[in-house]
Amino acid sequence: MPSLDRSSAQFDSEAFEEADNGIQQLRQKLPEDAVRRLALEVVTRLIERTAALPETLPLPSDGDIDHLCDLLIAVDARSSARHIEDLLDRGAPPELIYLGYLARSAQRLGTWWEEDRVSFLDVTLAAGRIYAIMRGLRPHFAPVAGIRQRRAIFCSVPGEDHLLGVSMAADLFRRQGWDISLKVGLGHNALLSELAADPDAVVGLSCSGQHSAVPLAQLMVAMRIDNPKRLILVSGQIIETSPDVVRTLSPDALAPDVPTALAELARLAQLAAPD
């Protein structure tokens, strides 16, 4: 069975380790209620995707799903990732892993919790590992070349009252030739629906301080599940007030000021430019 000592074209073990460690740190830094909300975000959004599996792909058996669920709540944090990497090495398509195995495992764990077969702590643990595995699958969800057109969506994190800064930044970027769509004052689900309409644009999230750390975490987790190829930049005072939380979320770029934001967004756009 393959180890997680290396990254490959199939599975990015470094991304898995980074996400897994980040989730563990979030459990220590965030209130218990916030951790529960993040876990529910992962499980709920994945369950919504179980119907999206193409009919041409074979469904994993109930036994396959039960086995993965057991690994997701096992003492060995990496056993589930090794199993997924093994499936990939044996030719399982990434869509089957994502929609067939991970999404159905989230659904099964929700059922087990309702039946008192597992605790919510188990579900929280499994949700974090599922999210980390999804980050490990990122080689299969590379950004598309369309974002080289210097297009981005600037958003305020749900619940933010300080909207002037992100609005001014949007105007500045437009003067620099960027096509900027501004989304402010939206709730969590409404913002995610708006983002789904433009899946290829870079997203810049504005977060003014520590009070928005939990909504930022919940939003970024949902964005990663909804669109694994999305490139995300985080800006605002939260970079200074809650640097540990921001780092654990592994954004693709951080921008404490406008000059840095200009440079970093240009870098993200270049990442997807064709050779």
CB atoms within 10 A of CB 54: 10
What is the tens place of the pLDDT at every residue in 152-171?
A: 999 999 988 878 888 888 98
Q: How confident is the model at residue 35, as a pLDDT?
A: 87
In tens, the pLDDT along 200-220 reads 889 999 998 888 899 999 999
Percent of the chain with pLDDT over 90: 45
Which helix H or strand E contains 183, and what residues bound it?
Answer: strand 179-183
From 140, 156, 182, the end of a domain falls on 140
* Residue 49 pLDDT: 76
Distance CA 50, CA 229 (A): 19
- The domain containing residue 149 runs over which residues? 145-271
Is residue 219 domain-resident?
yes
Residue 7 inside a domain? The answer is no
134 and 220, same domain (yes or no): no
**Higher pLDDT pick, 53 / 173:** 173
Q: Which residues fall within 8 angstroms of residue 156, CB to CB, at 6 or more apart?
A: 162, 163, 166, 183, 184, 185, 186, 205, 206
CA angle 33, 34, 39 (to 5 degrees): 100
Task: List, in order, residues 6 or more apart from 175 with CB less than 8 Å away.
Answer: none
pLDDT digits (tens, 9 = 90+) for 121-148: 999 999 999 999 988 888 777 655 544 5
Q: Do 162 and 229 have their domain in common?
A: yes
- Is 130 inside any structural domain? yes
Q: Please tell me the total count of domains within the chain.
A: 2
**C-alpha span between 167 and 162 (Å, rounded):** 10
| CATH code where residue 195 lies | 3.40.50.280
- Identify which of 162, 169, 248, 253 has the alpha carbon closest to the alpha carbon of residue 209: 162
* Global pTM value: 0.80
Q: Is residue 3 part of a domain?
A: no
| Boundary residue ending a domain (140, 158, 188) | 140
DSSP conformational letter for 149: G
Distance CA 165, CA 21 (A): 32
| Assigned domain for 110 exists | yes
Please indicate, yes or no, if residue 172 is contained in any of the structural domains.
Answer: yes
Is residue 44 located within the same domain as residue 150?
A: no
163 and 202 inside one domain: yes
